[in-house]
Amino acid sequence: MATDSQYIQRRLITGLAAHLDHPEITMLVGPRQSGKTTILKQLDTKLCAGGRKTLWLNLDFEDDFRHVSSQGALLQKIRLELGNGFGVVFIDEIQRKDNAGLFLKGLYDQGLPWRKRRSTICAPRPRPRLLLSSGAVPAVLGAAI
């Protein structure tokens, strides 16, 4: 029999997976040690098992910082790892990025690379989606709100 926490985790993973069809950036927020990374890792495993490409960056890991040093650096990493097709980019501990809200807002406002663009000539190409985790919402969104 499933425990309450297993049920909640399954519901969260199902909800996050369903939200991948939306153009918005998805952020999973909670206090330290509440299971955010675990939930995203479970979603990552589920997506990979279904044949979807994923890219995982953890900003607790210093080497991953170079991929978010600029919006161009992140886009280059996404193209290298995911190509031009659909994939999911996970950025764990996004609050470690200075001015993360403005960084993400700039990417989203440009429609790059995960936002679907409409075209009257052909169907929109699938784009990568971005999922984030953070233990500190004001630190991430403060300058972007």
pLDDT by residue (tens digit) across 35-58? 888 888 998 998 899 888 899 999
Position 4 scores a pLDDT of: 60
Other beta carbons within 10 angstroms of residue 16's beta carbon come to 20
Q: Which of 27-41, 60-74, 78-92, 123-137 is the most confident on average?
A: 60-74
- Model pTM? 0.77
Domains in the chain (CATH in brackets) are 4-141 (3.40.50.300)
CA 65 to chain centre: 15
